[in-house]
A = this chain, B = another copy of it.
């Protein structure tokens, strides 16, 4: 379901500006000199294997027909992937779950006043694009997990439909109570839009693709160019995943045949109001029929009309009814057992289900995964023996709600908590730069990997290209300076939007999400046009970036699997936690300043004086100035974490000296067992306020952003939502979490110091 993932992992990854001088223990962290030499040879052999032709043919097959959850071709693809894994010589099977996945039975959107217009709700076939005509198998355009409903009401345009937009509506004197809102895509994950609309009293929600965001404003539309055509629609889930993802009926447990299920009426993650997505072709007559205030300047999209807010005279009839039956999921899981540490797992996944044909989403990420597995098969035959167990997963049901990964993680939670070293995810892949988001314990590691991958277009390392791109795009001279000088490029934190969520945020497994992109814009996301024809016309047409992703992922997986010592880094983690701590303190201070300033302006009469009587605004009300909060526990915890990280780093440097002889000692097992707990320590069993499923205390999807990450979410969201008491409660909880992390690192340092005294 990615798309926005690229934006949320804005920071990118890779290593030293100078050709990295080999470290004393060879040049791979966690490896002795001898082991590093061997590892480098295997990795080089690996990277020679993935083939653009294989990637192309695999995509042609997997995207040949619509393959959403419950469709015949979804199952056929799972079986085909299973056969592939087996043909590579891997131990593989399909794990099934039964999940709630609604599919549409009735869909109506019509303008009933001041004129009549019935929305098409249908994406037309494109001549020359053979799969676009497979209408019998295509899921109609809809938003999964919309409540059933049949409503008729005045229409209100709410821009992106995020909380700030409703604050603006309040200043305009517009209420959405009893109205149907129309919001445009982007600006938040789509599921936020009906949620916030319902919170404000709306009774229905339309979400449309404005040409400003991914239509003709961006570039030529399909089939002339890659952008969204007039009748293209973005399908997608609107489940309230910031509460919990996965099957709505089985929160926290795997949706096996016999699992205890909630009644449908009890499921809290289904929307409160009916929702449908529409094209800009269908939206234009609706928006053009609105009067009321002119839309604020930032709200205006790319349609050739004057945008008004409403309400009315446009009146809309919206009807949604779904088939709420359970559907089967087919997760395909392959295992390469570790020879040295079989109970330490490196997990790599990408989903295989799509909304329709899904050449880009997800097949462009799935086919590199298959190439990686094919290459491992070849290496195993040549004698490669990974130290740790490697688990490869082709998830089903990611699109509706991260179903396949979430149910699998929930079903195997205990085992994963004991064994998982890392989870590496991809979702879609395209032409351009390596985008990285993930756990900061893996920031240095993935920088190192990307120093060893060649960018297909420039022949630079992908690290170097990313670094120079960061230099080019730095917004401040400080950021540019950092891009030039910092040993590692920063990686973004992960919110949600793909299958890392249950691993990272529910169980606390160090995770990475990787994908190339940035030169591959387009507007076919979640439409019937995301197909082989589109992908091979406009995206990674020669599949060289598919190969690069396979090379990047495979190198990372092998290097994690073979390392003597798990290559987590804690100094970068500690530094990043310090940044987050300063951020939330600045957030509070900025809020204090802005409330103080606004109150002052109210007293001065600024809002009355600048009110245009012909376009009047409701003046804001005076607010309490946010109180000062006690951030000392957080600052102290970051300080202690920093000291522990430094101690571990010192011990590591010592252990790596002289060829890293210490790293060959047998009692690394206990040390690795300690290290393996380092991400788990960042979770609390009772999770975040009002959403206990989300246990990670450092990274979470925003309750009101959906995809977008909130770091230190308990504290940050309490401040954002002006819940000062909760903010005060959450600060010590984060501090406690960091203290637990400090304990793990201190224990690891002690163990390491014993190895290399």
Contacts and interface: CB of A to CB of B under 8 A. Distances in A.
Contact of A612 (B217, B519, B604): B519
Contacts of A519: 612, 614-615
A666 interface: no
Interface stretch (A180-188, A299-307, A632-640): A299-307
Interface stretch (A94-102, A267-275, A467-475, A656-664): A467-475
A40 interface: no
Interface stretch (A103-111, A252-260, A456-464, A562-570): A456-464
Contacts of A606: 468, 471-472
Interface in A584-630: 597, 601, 604-615
A471 B601 contact: yes
Contacts of A460: 605, 609
Interface stretch (A22-30, A66-74, A218-226): A218-226
A217 B221 CA distance: 21
A294 B219 contact: yes
User: How many copies of this chain are found per oligomer?
Assistant: 2
A510 to B, nearest CB: 30
Nearest to A612: B519
Contacts of A472: 601, 606-607, 609-610
Interface string A260-299: 0000000000000000000000000000000000100000
Interface in A301-317: 302-306
A609 B220 CA distance: 26
A306 B221 contact: yes
B306 A216 contact: yes
Nearest to A519: B612
Contacts of A469: 609-610
A211 interface: yes
A490 interface: no
A744 to B, nearest CB: 39
B609 A458 contact: yes
A604 B472 CA distance: 11
Given A304-B304, A471-B604, A472-B606, A613 B219 contact: no
Given A468-B610, A471-B606, A303 B306 contact: no
Contacts of A458: 608-609, 611
A291 to B, nearest CB: 9
Interface string A344-370: 000000000000000000000000000
A465 B306 contact: no
Is the contact region of chain A dominated by helix, strand, or loop, or is it mixed?
Answer: loop
A110 to B, nearest CB: 23
A225 B308 CA distance: 12
Given A219-B294, A519-B614, A465 B304 contact: no
Given A457-B613, A458-B609, A306 B220 contact: yes
A203 to B, nearest CB: 28
Interface in A124-161: none
A604 B460 CA distance: 12
A614 B225 CA distance: 13
A591 B216 CA distance: 36
Contact of A216 (B219, B305, B597): B305
Nearest to A605: B468
A305 B220 CA distance: 8
Contacts of A480: 597
A432 B609 CA distance: 11
A609 B306 contact: no
B464 A609 contact: yes
A610 B692 CA distance: 43
Contacts of A300: 217
A528 B226 CA distance: 41
A306 B468 contact: no
6 contacts: A216-B305, A465-B610, A468-B609, A469-B610, A480-B597, A519-B614
Closest 8 CB pairs of A and B: A304-B304, A468-B609, A468-B606, A216-B306, A519-B612, A472-B610, A472-B606, A465-B609
Interface of A: 211, 216-221, 225, 227, 294, 300, 302-306, 431-432, 457-458, 460, 464-465, 468-469, 471-472, 480, 519, 597, 601, 604-615
Given A458-B609, A469-B610, A480-B597, 11 more contacts: A211-B304, A221-B306, A302-B304, A304-B304, A432-B612, A458-B608, A458-B611, A460-B609, A472-B609, A519-B612, A519-B615
